[in-house]
Amino acid sequence: MPTAYRTLDSETQFLKGVGPRFAAAMAKAGLRTVRDVLYHLPRRYEDRRHIPPIASVRPGQFVTVKGELTAIEGRPMRRGMVIVRGTLSDATGNIDLVWFNQPWHRRQLEKARGQTVIAYGMAKEARWGCEIASPEYEILGDGDDAEAFARIVPVYPLTDGLPQVTVRKAARDAIARYLDAVQDPLPSWILREQMLRDLRWCLRQIHQPESDDLRLEARRRLVFEEFLVLQVALAMRRAETHAEIGTCFPISRLLAAPAPVKAKQKAPPPSALFTEIEAELREAEPLWDQIHRMLPFELTGAQRRVIEEIWADMESPHPMNRLLQGDVGSGKTAVAACAMLAAVRCGYQSALMAPTEILAEQHHANLREIFEPLGIEIALLVGKQTPTQKKKAAARTASGAAHLAVGTHALIQEGVSFAKLGLVVIDEQHRFGVLQRAALREKGLGNPDVLVMTATPIPRTLTMTLYGDLDLSVIDEMPPGRMPVRTHAKTPGERESVYKGVRKLIESGRQAYFVCPMVSESEKMLAQAAEELAYRLRQEVYPDLRIGLLHGQLPSKQKEEAMDAFRRHELDILVSTTVIEVGVDVANASVMVVEDANRFGLSQLHQLRGRVGRGAHQSFCILIGDARTDDAQARLDIMVQTQDGFKIAEEDLRLRGPGELAGTRQSGNVEFKIADLVQDGKMLEVARQVAIELIRRDPHLAAREHQALRQRVTEERPSLMAVVSVS
Ligand code: ADP
Ligand code: MG
């Protein structure tokens, strides 16, 4: 075949060993083209250069063994169980291969009696020597031996109906005939700087490794490439945002006191003069002074730093696209308030979006307290409002009578418009998914600056993939005087003493949260669990105390009443589902009791614990749970050991893998074909730096040596963006 026809887009059925017979099975495994096959990485490798003699196999090891299949038996056991047992023999001894309740292996093996079989699995102690339960195995046909032997053999991930041999043959053929058609997307200067091998060499080593070291070197490069393509796409998007024209807030003019206002020549009537002067004074007040007057506390150094970062973005003529990361309780709301104040002073409106009505209402109440004395008007927009209420609020944002709007999704729904929207703040972002600027524009909200706030502690590696197109500000300091929350893991048997301890704290004037067991994902089931817990506490444990109930199934009005009553200290205990997980702020609440804590994820527990420890009192978090699995025990241990959200996030990533992390679940899995976010975190960082440098040098990848990379990025960008941005 002339090389010109050998494109990587050729269908797999033309590869050796596939044909029409296995084409469908290949496609089902995602292997449609030769390119797919080349990038289909082995799951593991079998080193058949050194297959140990059977007699040397010890229990507790993953081993590859080879021998003649000398015996097969299928034995029905009690209760309908079937055990299939095959015996492999070599010159040194025998080992059994065992399957429970998978009778079809018997049919397969019957055909192979007397033939050579290679098997892989965990060796376990058995009555006579060792056995391997549910091994992977391969029957060596006559033609196969020479090819498959004395090599490091790739073992590919499979789907039903696709034999290992087929994929192996296809990959060999793809390497043999198509490697020339592979174009390296990485320019040579990057390969040189990063000391990486070229792509053809790497693909060969991946599918036909000469040694483990070379194979790992090849993998390293493919990981880098995968990260780089993503990071370049993100860097390009960031550059595009930076090139757009947005709002320019003249904030530096507000920082210094302007020249004193000269008295006007023509004196207006005295009363009007007074208000005018006062208005001018207010206009003239330096921004930091005004903030000082507005907030009941001194900002931390970290808060001031990120405020300045945000202001600098707002002042630039390009739209802001910034992620503000700060652990629970680090004071993100105050930072948002300062950004919004600056916008108002520059004559623009701001919108603050929260993920739940409870949180929107809390923000509304808090912001009113600080902003109303300054004459700044705030509208509230939440889904549960009556049409009339909504209309009224929308009219105020449309006319500009309201300087700020606080709300849920309702804020960007049809019928809501703004007179002059300049800034959008999105709180507790993980509940929204990444909100695209495009979505705001589509909704007719112009091209405002966007500040996304998140407390979900996300490991840096994930931040770089999920939010790699946002600029990042981090609050890395807690407000002063916070005492660490004392965290205890208790068994269900110790519940009585927990209840006693909580009673003592309540008697000394504190309040407590009780979070009900995470019985299921269903809101209905959760609501029921919360009601049961409330019932039990009211009837049996604290009949004399004031206990409220909060869950997602309650009508909005009742939720609001419960929250308000708790805030006003008309309740001692609030029994809740995880609806209080996010953002709720009641300083006098100093105890958090989580029932069945072993069922919660780490980041959830961290969020829940973040509800306490907000006031001057020593706070406690009691995790009641029966940790039956190692993972559950590990989670509880981590919670007891540390309060550092980022440490917890790293552990969470390690224990659960990135796809499972709270909040990323709905944004699609962060799935890489080759890379592993936990293992390859450092490489991601390197790739990000290289991508930034590359886009700085050649923003549109116009140079000839960057064409191949540009093509790769363009091809993959839609799917990459789908991974990193779902709203
Ligand atoms: P989060 O970052 O979790 O959203 P909040 O903005 O709700 O945190 O702030 C948590 C609590 O800390 C609030 O009660 C807030 O008033 C208070 N707070 C914020 N900044 C400071 C500060 N610099 N000094 C003292 N208290 C602060
Ligand atoms: Mg908050």
Neighbours of 259 (CB within 10 A): 7
Q: Identify whether residues 341 and 393 lie together within a single domain.
A: yes
| Domain's final residue, options 150, 166, 198 | 150
Looking at residue 142, which CATH number applies to its domain?
2.40.50.140
Burial of 270 (0-12, 13-18, 19+ CB in 10 A): exposed
Q: Tell me, what's the pLDDT at 570?
A: 96
Domain boundary among 405, 434, 454: 454
DSSP H/E element including 44: strand 44-47
Domain count, the chain: 3
| The two three-digit tokens of residue 681, written as one number | 């975190």
Tell me, yes or no, whether 450 and 496 share the same domain.
no
- What pLDDT does residue 257 have? 59
Is residue 262 located within the same domain as residue 390?
A: yes
Measured CA to CA, the distance from residue 716 to residue 712 in angstroms comes to 6
Domain that residue 369 falls in: 251-315+331-454
DSSP strand pairing (547-550 vs 573-576): parallel
Q: Which residues of 29-63 are buried (b: 16+ CB within 10 A; e: fewer)?
A: bebbbbbbbbbbbbeebbeeeebeebeebeeeeeb
pLDDT for 260 equals 47
The reply to whether ligand 1 has any atom less than 6 angstroms from the CB of 326 is yes
The tokens for 4 are 């010109």
Distance, CA 222 to ligand 2 centroid (Å)? Answer: 39
Does some domain include residue 157?
no
Best residue among 614, 617, 619, 643 to mutate for probing ligand 1's pocket (most ligand atoms within 8 Å of CB) is: 614
Q: What is the per-residue pLDDT for 604?
A: 84
Sign of the dihedral through C-alpha 624, 626, 631, 633: positive
C-alpha distance from residue 310 to each of 246, 248, 321, 396, 453 (Å): 14, 12, 10, 27, 12
Output the CA 604–ligand 2 centroid distance in Å: 15
Closest atom of ligand 1 to CA, residue 326: 2
In-domain check, residue 674:
no
What's the pLDDT score for residue 457? 62
Exposed/middle/buried for residue 649 (C-beta within 10 Å: 0-12, 13-18, 19+): buried
Instruction: Give phi and psi for 525, each to the nearest 5.
Output: -65, -40
Neighbouring C-beta atoms of residue 73, cutoff 10 Å: 12
pLDDT of residue 429: 61
Is there an atom of ligand 1 within 6 Å of 330 CB? Answer: yes
What are φ and ψ of residue 706, in 5° steps?
A: -105, 5
Both 554 and 501 in one domain: the answer is: yes
**Could you tell me the distance, in angstroms and rounded to a whole number, from the CA of residue 12 to the centre of ligand 2?**
52
Task: Judge whether 113 lies within some domain.
Answer: yes
What is residue 282's predicted lDDT score, i.e. its pLDDT? Answer: 56
612 and 535 in one domain?
yes
Note whether 387 and 495 are same-domain residues.
no
Nearest CA to ligand 1 atom 25: 479
Distance 378 CA to ligand 1 centre (A): 20
- 142 assigned to some structural domain: yes
Single out the residue in 150, 166, 191 at which a domain terminates: 150
Q: Give a yes or no: residue 181 inside a domain.
A: no
Q: What is the mean pLDDT of each run of 10 residues along the chain (727 residues)?
A: 68 88 89 92 85 90 89 80 90 92 84 88 86 86 57 86 88 94 93 95 95 94 93 86 85 73 46 49 78 93 97 93 87 96 94 87 92 93 89 93 91 84 82 56 78 76 73 88 90 94 96 88 86 95 95 87 92 90 83 92 87 89 86 90 86 68 41 78 89 93 94 77 41
For the Cβ of 363 lying below 6 angstroms from any atom of ligand 1, the answer is no
Pick the residue whose CA is nearest to atom 19 on ligand 1.
331
Report the CATH number at residue 587. 3.40.50.300
Same domain, residue pair 258 and 374: yes
Q: Are residues 422 and 498 in the same domain?
A: no
* pLDDT for 144: 56
Task: Give the pair of three-digit tokens for residue 474.
Answer: 């981090």
Residue among 291, 292, 294, 297 to mutate when testing ligand 1 (max atoms within 8 A of CB): 297
Q: Are 336 and 395 members of one domain?
A: yes
Identify whether residues 521 and 617 lie together within a single domain.
yes
Q: Is 218 contained in some domain? A: no
Residue 21 is predicted with a pLDDT of 86
Q: Is the CB of 455 under 6 A from ligand 1?
A: yes
The predicted pLDDT at position 48 comes to 77
422 and 524 share a domain?
Answer: no
Q: Which atom of ligand 1 is nearest to the CA of 330?
A: 2
Q: Which amino acid is at 334?
A: A
| Domain assignment present for 369 | yes
Q: Residue 217 falls within a domain, yes or no?
A: no
Q: Give 328 Cα–ligand 1 centroid separation in angstroms.
A: 9
Q: Are 292 and 406 within one domain?
A: yes
